[in-house]
Every structure is written in structure tokens, then in C-alpha cells.
Structure 1
Amino acid sequence: MGTALLYGLGTAIPLVIGAAIGLRTTLPRPLLASLMAFGAGTMIAAVTNELFEPAFVQAGAATAGVALFSGAAVYVVANHLLERRAGAGAVGWALMLGTVLDGVPENTALGVSLASGGGLVLVVAIAAGNVPEAIGGSALLHRQHDVSTGRAFTLWVLTGAVLVVVTVAGHALSDHLTTTSISVVQAFAGGATIAVLADSLMPEAYKEGGWWVGMATAVGFLVAFLLG
């Protein structure tokens, strides 16, 4: 239980730090873009090695594929509804939504994987992805949607608390979940993460930094891959 709590905090604390940075300072656009792209690269590696591949091997292509598309569909639909309601500029809300929709199954999968001694690559990838999401999301919430600093920070703190709780809960329930159920959670998390990257994080990184952010994405992928 202590390890699960530590890993959960390892994903939540960077989220809170990122939110504080985004609300209190204005980072240079190239730096913010590089952080977003680096986080995207780590998440690509985590989806491949820690989430979808184990699900594919254990549950097979059909089950893992359905769960993958389900995770992507949930985020895509939710993001589309958000854009219709708040406008196409609602990137800040979209990044927070993405943190929740991919973070809950990701951190659940993280908690479950700790039972078998895994999870290092996943926690690094989640933490690296959470920092730029929180920086960009909190800053955009404050600037574009006039959400007060206190309210925006509270929202991100609550999001971080949820991630800690689901990590611990996932670890506690790991002995009671079937291997197929674990695979579904992993693949669903992978699908949601892919959708977040494609719809929100990577487009925003390119918008802020331009063509060269592909290099930062590659660096993030390599770092997470080597850790694995």
C-alpha cells in the first residue's frame, strides 16, 4: 500500500507543481512547447510498452482493440461536447479533461501493475505528461476563460488527489481482478491517452513551438523507452 501511495503521489505532485507554474509564471513559448512535446513522447512509449502491449498479449487483439477504441471514443466525444459548449478555444478545459479521462485508467493500471513489480516506465511517463498538461491547461484556463487563480489551482489539486486515490485503489483491488479485466483497463487507458495526444497535447505543442517540437517528442519517447 505504501508503494502504491508513493507512486500515486509521483504522478500527482508533478501535476500540482505544473499547475502552480502555469498560474504564477509565463513560460517562454518554446519551453512550454518543448515540455508538452517531451511529455507526449514519454506517453507514446508508455502506451506501447506498458498499456497496450500487455493487454494485447494477454487478452488478444479483439478485446484489447475494443477497449482501445472505447478509451479513445470516450475522450473524443467528451472533448467534442466540450468544444461545442465552450468553443474551439477551450484547450485548457480539454487538457484537464484529458488528464482525468486518461489519468484514471492509467493510474488504475499503474496500481495494478505494482503487484507484479512493474510500473516504473508508466509512472515516469504519467508524471512527464502531467507537468506540461497542467502548465498549459492551468494557464489557458486562467487566460482564456477567466477562471480565478485559486479556483484553477484547486481544480488541479483535486485532479491530483483523484489520481492518488485510484492508484491506491487499483493496487488494493489487483488481487481481485481477473487478468482480462486488467487488460481492458490497460487498453482503455491507452486509447484515451492516444486521443489526448492527437486532439489536444501535440497540436498545442506544435502551435506553441512549431516544426522542431518533433525532436523533443522523440527525446521523450527515447527516455521512456530506455527506462523500460
Structure 2
Amino acid sequence: MAIWLTAGLWGLLGASSLLLGAAVAFVFTMPRYVTAGIMSFGCGVLISAVAYDLLEDGYQEGGIWPIIAGAIAGSAAYALSDWAISREGARSRKRSGDQQVNAGEGGGLAIAIGSLRDGIPESIVLGLGLLSGKGISIAMLAAIFLSNFPEGLSSALGMRAAGRSVTYIFGLWSAITILSGAAAALGAAFLGAAAPQVVATVSAVAAGALLTMVVNTMVPEAVEGEQKLAGVLVVVGLLAAFALSNVGET
């Protein structure tokens, strides 16, 4: 199977938790501390995956300056777009409390747009992992899956409260999931013959964007929803991802 197609399928899998979260919103009433706990664990997994699977590997391939330039550019771009989208109601896109219900129709749509924006660097990262020859990063895949779940939950609840139909909500999330898979496929297809410095820079851009996402959207929900165990769960998630990244290397 072509690498770009494989990358697309992995991208679909990582984004599929958006649909899972939306389904949970219609079937179960999940306590906030549960989703906040998932978010806390996901923070640790994502931090570890970004640090070791993106920044460290990118440094080994392209040197320090592509990493510095790419990470700063990715962080700045994400922060600017996050500010713009948050003004439209997407600030609560990873939240599972009353904020997302109060977002209403506009907020729910803004959350969906924000989720698509979050998913682009995530999906490209999966494709880059295949190009490196190391195969898919299980730690990165787990981080993406865990971080997407509350977004699907939040947006579905917001749009459901605004009176949107089940068909509309799941159609929207299905489209975002497909686009995320396409981003992974395109990333692998267009960067397959790129120089190591270019791949390292793209990895660093994604890393900067993802770390900024963790601080701007994931950490606030993790701490607010699970104050007592948030730090512990972050550490557990980081160690779990670190272990997954190093299985078979020792």
C-alpha cells in the first residue's frame, strides 16, 4: 500500500474519536471529571509525543535551526488563529462542562472549525512519521485520539442545544474526520521527496502548534475539571507515551 494512503488511513483513525465523542454526547451523560481526566492524561501523552517524536527526531534529521524557526512559527500561527476562532465561540471546544452547552449554534460551529484547524497539524504529523521509516508513532496516535474526543463531545452538545439535527451534527463531524485523513495523506504525498531540513521544519511547525494547543485549550480544562489529580494524570500520560515510544529500543 502506498505511504500516502497508509498515512490517510491512520489520519482517519486518529480523527475518528471526534465521531466517538459526538456519539457519547447523544447516548451518555459523562461526568466532567471523567472527560477532564482523559484530557489530563492526553496532555501528558501529547507533550511526550511532541518532544520525542517530533522535536528530537526533527533535530536529528535537520539540526537545531529548523526546529527553532519552525516551532516559533507554528506556535505564533496557532496562537493568532486561536484568538480569532475563540472570538467566534470556539474557546470551549475542548471543554465538557456548561460552557459548551451555552455556546449555542454559532459556538458549536466555531468549535467544529477550531477542531478542523487543530486536526491539520496532528494529521500531517502522522504522515511524517511514516516518511521517516519508523512507522506510525503509537504515542502520537494515542495523543491525537485522546485530544479529539472532548472536541466531538463539546461541539455535539453545543449544536444539539441549538436545535441542530443528528444528521447535521454527524455529517459535519464525518466531513472533518475525512478532511483530517486527507491532510495526513497529502502531507505524506508532498513531503515524500523533501530534504531532511524541510521535513524537520514542518515537524517543528506542527510541534509548536500542538504544544500551544495543549496550553491554550487542554490544560485549562484538565486543571479546572480535575484539580486534585490533573498533574498526576499528566505525568502518567507522559510516562506512558515515553514508554510506548521506546518499546523495543532497549
TM-score category by the smaller chain?
A: 0.7 to 0.9
Q: Deviations over 1:107-130 (max 9, x none)?
A: 223113213133223222222222
**1:11-22 equivalent positions in 2, closer than 5 A:** 11-22=14-25
**1:5-44 equivalent positions in 2, closer than 5 A:** 5-44=8-47
Q: Deviations over 1:157-184 (max 9, x none)?
A: 2221111112222233343222122112
Unpaired runs of 5+ residues, structure 2, are 101-106, 246-250
Task: Give, in whole Å, the separation in 2 of the partners of 1:82 and 1:108.
Answer: 21
Task: Give, in whole Å, the separation in 1 of the partners of 2:154 and 2:54.
Answer: 25
Using a 3 Å threshold, how does the CA distance of structure 1 residues 177 and 192 change in structure 2: closer, same or farther?
same
Identity %: 28
Corresponding letter in the other structure for 1:70:
A
Q: Does 1:163 align with 2:166?
A: no
Q: Does 1:78 align with 2:81?
A: yes
Q: Does 1:60 align with 2:94?
A: no
Out of 96, 110, 114, the residue aligned to residue 126 of structure 2 is 110
How far apart are residue 197 of structure 1 and its match?
0.8
**Structure with higher helix content:** 1
Corresponding letter in the other structure for 2:34:
L
Task: Give, in whole Å, the separation in 1 of the partners of 2:155 and 2:66.
Answer: 33
Provide TM-score, normalisation by structure 1. 0.85
Determine helix, strand or coil for the equivalent of 2:192: helix
Q: Does 1:197 align with 2:214?
A: yes
Using a 3 Å threshold, how does the CA distance of structure 1 residues 27 and 66 change in structure 2: closer, same or farther?
same
Provide TM-score, normalisation by structure 2. 0.79
* CA contact 2:75–2:209 (8 Å) conserved in 1: yes
How far apart are residue 142 of structure 1 and its match?
4.4
Determine helix, strand or coil for the equivalent of 1:104: helix
* CA contact 2:22–2:170 (8 Å) conserved in 1: yes
* CA contact 1:36–1:133 (8 Å) conserved in 2: no
Structure 1 stretch 19-28 or stretch 70-79: which is displaced more?
A: 19-28
Out of 112, 126, 129, the residue aligned to residue 147 of structure 2 is 129
Runs (4 or more) in structure 1 with deviation over 4 Å come to 87-98, 140-143
Q: Deviations over 1:75-94 (max 9, x none)?
A: 21122123334486676567
How far apart are residue 3 of structure 1 and its match?
3.0
* CA contact 1:41–1:219 (8 Å) conserved in 2: yes
Task: Give, in whole Å, the separation in 2 of the partners of 1:15 and 1:193.
Answer: 17
Q: Deviations over 1:13-59 (max 9, x none)?
A: 22211222134432111101111111111111111011111222333
Corresponding letter in the other structure for 2:206:
A
Structure 1 stretch 179-188 or stretch 130-139: which is displaced more?
A: 130-139
Task: Give, in whole Å, the separation in 1 of the partners of 2:136 and 2:85.
Answer: 32
Using a 3 Å threshold, how does the CA distance of structure 1 residues 209 and 139 change in structure 2: closer, same or farther?
farther
Corresponding letter in the other structure for 2:86:
E
Unpaired runs of 5+ residues, structure 1, are none
Task: Give, in whole Å, the separation in 2 of the partners of 1:83 and 1:105.
Answer: 18
